[in-house]
Amino acid sequence: MKNTAFTEKHIALGAKMAEFAGYNMPISYSGINDEHATVRNNAGIFDVSHMGEFILKGENALDLIQRVTSNDASKLTAGKAQYSCLPNNDGGIVDDLLVYCVEENKVYMLVVNASNIEKDWNWISTFNSKNVEMHNISDKTCLLAIQGPNATKILQPLTDIDILNMKYYTFAKGKFAGVDNVLISATGYTGAGGIEIYFEDKNGDAEKIWNAIFEIGAPQGLKPIGLGARDTLRLEMGFCLYGNDINDTTSPLEAGLGWITKFTKDFTSKNIFEKQKAEGVKRKLVGFEMIDRGIPRHDYLIKDAAGNLIGKVTSGTQAPSLNKAVGLGYVATEHASLDNEIFIEIRNSLVKAKVVKFPFA
Amino acid sequence: MNFPSNFRYTKDHEWISLDGNIATVGITDFAQSELGDIVYVEIDSVGKTLAAETVFGTVEAVKTVSDLFLPVAGKILEFNAALEKQPELVNNDPYVGGWMIKLEVADVKDVEALLDAAAYQNLVH
């Protein structure tokens, strides 16, 4: 099991630790509900250094990215990032990722899920016929997400970059807490606002940054947050989690990711997606909330009133900010319309739910 | 972590406290801490007579769901209705306010055969 640069800190702070994607990661500190509320109402810090980062460089870097991703990366100018996915040859998803344009037409950074680093690297490499320079910098790159409505206000004194007014999905490189070359990005997986910072752990920089954030943040109520609350926060926003809501067998169109599937360029499985768009998909990822008491969980069956199987839950929880149980799941398209009543099979009984819009929050 | 010395315990992390032939059953401080924030306790076995180690309900935390196992055979008399509105009592007060069921025990000797506080403490440490 690998450690991040902050593993010792998490243990010292009393985190409940568990293995995630091969890393020893903090699952919770003070409790998921408290951590969740801290991020929704104030600010929290997540160590997500387990995530993968690839640098793609050279005059053909954009071509390669366009070929393997579904979104249109040619729209990106330096300092902009976009959400995208890597389709496989069968219309499924290898991974979802962020594409950062560091230098237009020259240098890009791809941020991928920890559990898919090797799979993504190999997949992208098979399409690299024009000698794009690829670097897997995952092991040496730290990633901290500082999220919440007060996150940028709290952190602004640590940098000259104007993070208070940084637009969503833009980024800049500069000095942060006295450390040079920190990439500061107005992105996140919580829907609560804030930034994510990428930097290399050398000469104790990781410790320096962590300590500086706590020194300025702790008196203002900033707290460390584990992966448990990260999951409830993203689920309230209806953000897909790879391995749960999307995987090698789900199409981005089924998953409601048509907005990152652009037919302006050629890419893997484009024909399959065009056909799905023209003919409609057979199943859709929907958000639902429980009407009767019960909590939906990954892989629970979804049935109609007559008890016929119509789909499966992909994520579910008691949503801490909403005080109700919500979930995501694929259902046959005829059952996907808003307010449609569906039934979640929980311990052999059918519990009533209805399709709702997400974000739930 | 606190394990009252007058209770008995199971390896599945339930506690049982006996008064005559009526027992009170809940989950231990260790169990609630492992589960994290508890959001729902579902018990649909009131009125049933069940064997030891059968599932009498489930407890749902934010991230996980876990079955509840009956420590000894008996008839389930009552569910702690306070948990309907305040499932977090199981986290905050696992041995008093967070009790789950009252049980009419078939044979009180079964209770004595369970783990005592010292043995349970050894199990979880």
How does pLDDT run across A281-312, given as a tens digit for each residue? 999 999 999 999 999 999 999 999 999 999 99
Shortest Cα distance from B35 to chain A (angstroms)?
10
pLDDT in tens, A11-52: 999 999 999 999 999 999 999 999 999 999 999 999 999 999
B25: which strand partners?
B16, B101
- pLDDT recorded at residue A150: 98
A151 contacts A157 by C-beta, under 8 angstroms: no
CB contact under 8 A, B65 and A295: yes
B40 and chain A in contact, CB less than 8 A: yes
Q: What is the pLDDT of residues A98-156, one digit of tens each?
A: 999 999 999 999 999 999 999 999 999 999 999 999 999 999 999 999 999 999 999 99
Contact A282, A335 (CB under 8 A): no
- Beta strands A80-87 and A23-28, pairing class: unpaired
Which residues of B fall within a CB distance of 8 Å from A232? 62
Confidence class of residue A358 from pLDDT cuts 50, 70 and 90?
confident
From chain B, the residues in CB contact with A347 under 8 A are 42, 58
Distance CA B65, CA A181 (A): 44
Chain Cα centroid distance, residue A45: 15
pLDDT attached to residue B33: 94
* Mean predicted lDDT score pLDDT of chain A: 97
pLDDT at A361 over 80: no
- Residue A91 is encoded by which pair of tokens? 């219309």
User: CB distance from B104 to chain A under 8 Å?
Assistant: no
Residue ranges of chain B whose pLDDT lies below 50: none
- With H, G, I as helix, E, B as strand and everything else as coil, classify residue A147: strand
Q: Which residues of chain A have a Cβ shorter than 8 Å from any chain B Cβ?
A: 16, 27-28, 31-34, 228, 231-232, 293-295, 297, 317-318, 320, 347
Q: What are the CB-based long-range contacts (under 8 Å, 24+) for B18-23?
A: B18/B105, B18/B108, B18/B111, B21/B104, B21/B105, B21/B108, B22/B77, B22/B102, B22/B103, B22/B104, B22/B105, B23/B71, B23/B72, B23/B74, B23/B102, B23/B103, B23/B104, B23/B105, B23/B111
- Global ipTM: 0.84
Chain A residue nearest residue B42, CA to CA: A294
Q: How far, in whole angstroms, is CA B20 from its chain's centroid?
A: 18
Contact residues, chain A, for B91 at CB < 8 Å: 31
User: What does the pLDDT look like over A315-339, one tens digit per residue?
Assistant: 999 999 998 999 999 999 999 999 9
Q: Choose the closest CB to B62 out of A16, A228, A293.
A: A228
User: What pLDDT, on a 0 to 100 scale, did the predictor assign at position A312?
Assistant: 98
Which helix (H) or strand (E) segment holds residue A278: the answer is helix A270-279
Q: Which residue of B has its CA nearest to A295?
A: B60
Residues of B in contact with A31 (CB under 8 A): 36-37, 91
- A83 pLDDT more than 90: yes
Compute how many other C-beta atoms are within 10 angstroms of the C-beta atom of residue A318: 25
Residue among B42, B62, B65 whose CB faces A33 most closely: B62
Count of C-beta atoms within a 10 Å radius of residue B88: 17
Asked if A33 and B65 come within 8 Å (Cβ–Cβ), the reply is no
Measure B20 CA to nearest chain A CA, in Å.
34
Segment A184-228, tens digit of pLDDT: 999 999 999 999 999 999 999 999 999 999 999 999 999 999 999
Instruction: Identify the helix (H) or strand (E) that includes residue A101.
Output: strand A93-103
Which residues on neighbouring strands pair with residue A112, listed in sequence order? A52, A97
**Is the Cβ of B60 closer than 8 Å to some Cβ of chain A?**
yes
